[in-house]
Structure 1
Amino acid sequence: MRIVAGEWRRHPLRAPAGDATRPTADRTRETLFSMLASRLGSFDGLAVADLFAGSGALGLEALSRGAASCLFVEQDAAALRVLRANIASLRAQARCNVHAGSATQIGPARQMLDLVLLDPPYGSGTGGVALDRMIRLGWIGPASWIALEVGAKEDARLPAFTIDAERKVGAARLVLARPNLD
C-alpha cells in the first residue's frame, strides 16, 4: 500500500495486521480521488475527516494532494498504532488530529469540514449513522462533500444526502454525495 499522488507520492504505508481492518486498495483510492478531483478541482486548503480511518490511507492521500488538515477517527487499538506510525513516517503530525473512538460517537464540531471520507465495515450501516450525527453536530455544511466506500452489492442509504456519483471498483462501490441542507 502506498500514497498514489501528490507530495508523498509512492510513499509506502503500513496496514494493521489481521482482518479487523480492510485498507482501501491503491486502485480504489486512485479511482476515488480522481472522482473527487473532477468535482473539487483541487484539494488545496481543504479541511478533511477520515472516519473509520484504519491505516489512514484516505486522509493521508488527501493531505498529500494539498488538504490543510485531517481529522482521523478510529477505535481499533492496533489500527490506531499503525495510523500514528504512518502519520509520523510522513512527518505530518502538524496537519493531523487523531481521535481514538467510534466515528458514530463523534462529539460536537470544532470546524465545518469540506470533505468527509468514510470506509466503514461493509454491510454495517455505520457510515450513515456517523454522517447523520455529523450533520446534527455541525461538522457537515451545504458545501461539504461526502465520499463513502461500501461493498459492491451494498445499498448506500443516505436519506439526508443527494448522491452525485457511484462507481463499482472491485469488491467496493464508491459513493460521492452532497448534503440536503437548506
Structure 2
Amino acid sequence: MKAIPGRIRIIGGNLRNSRLNVPDLPGLRPTPERVRETLFNWLAPTIAGVRALDLCAGTGALGLEALSRGASTVQFVEPERAAADALRGNLARLKAQGGEVSSNDAAHFLRGAPQPFGLVFLDPPFAAQLWASLAHQLEQGGWLAKTAQIYVESPRGAELALPSNWMLHREGHAGEVRYALYRRLQDVPLS
C-alpha cells in the first residue's frame, strides 16, 4: 500500500492501521512501509520493553511503530516545529503511551544528560550528512545501552564512518536508500 501524501500508517502492533498526519515540509522523508515492515521483523524478538530513541524523528513513524509493537518508551527528537507539533498531535490522538517529544536539534540533545537506550533510530536528513557525528556522540556520550541496536538509514552507496564497535547485523536497499541494523559490541576497542 502506498502512502497518501500527508498521511502514512502504522503497519503493526496495537496501533496497526492507524493513520499519521504528516506535515508537508521540505526534506521530510518518511521511512517507507516496506522498509519499516522489514526492520520490525528483524527487531521482533527484542522490541518488547525496550527504551528507544528516535533521534531525527521527522514524522515519528519509526518511533510510533516501536511503541505500537511494545517498546516501553520512545524519546522523539525533532527540531522542526511543525513536525514536532504533528508528532505530539499524533501521540495524543492515538493515545500512545510512553512517547515524549523534544523540540531540539539532535546534536544539541546529545549534549544533555545521557540516558542509555536499547534501540536508536538514526535517520537524519540526507543533505545534512550527520551520520558520523551523531553516531560518535551516541557512542561516546553514554546514550547506548551495553547491547544496543542502532538502525541507520542513508543514501545507497554512502560511506559512513560509524563507531568500530557497531557490528552490522542486517541490511537492505529500497531504491536509492540503504537501511541497516547494527548491534553494539562492548569489547571492541573504539577507533
Q: Tell me the TM-score normalized by structure 1.
A: 0.90
Aligned CA-pair RMSD = 1.6
Taking the aligned partners of 2:128 and 2:168, their CA distance within structure 1 comes to: 19
Q: Select 1:25's aligned residue among 23, 32, 37.
A: 32
More contact order relative to length (CA 8 Å, sep ≥ 6): 1
Q: In the alignment, what sits opposite 1:75?
A: 79
Deviation, structure 1 residue 172: 1.4
Taking the aligned partners of 1:12 and 1:4, their CA distance within structure 2 comes to: 9
Q: In the alignment, what sits opposite 2:4?
A: none
Q: In the alignment, what sits opposite 1:15?
A: 22
Q: In the alignment, what sits opposite 1:96?
A: 99
Instruction: State the identity as a percent.
Output: 38
Q: In the alignment, what sits opposite 1:3?
A: 10
Deviation, structure 1 residue 51: 1.1
Q: In the alignment, what sits opposite 2:169?
A: 164
1:33-182 equivalence runs, <5 A: 33-37=40-44, 41-92=45-96, 94-105=97-108, 106=110, 107-109=112-114, 111-160=115-164, 161-182=166-187
Taking the aligned partners of 2:67 and 2:182, their CA distance within structure 1 comes to: 20
Taking the aligned partners of 1:74 and 1:120, their CA distance within structure 2 comes to: 10
Deviation, structure 1 residue 123: 4.8
Deviation, structure 1 residue 180: 4.2
Instruction: Determine if contact 2:139/2:163 at 8 Å carries over to the other structure.
Output: no
Task: Identify unmatched segments of 5+ residues in structure 1.
Answer: none
Q: In the alignment, what sits opposite 2:3?
A: none
Greater gyration radius: 2
Task: Identify unmatched segments of 5+ residues in structure 2.
Answer: 1-7
Taking the aligned partners of 2:76 and 2:14, their CA distance within structure 1 comes to: 19
Deviation, structure 1 residue 49: 0.6
Number of matched pairs:
177
Deviation, structure 1 residue 153: 2.6
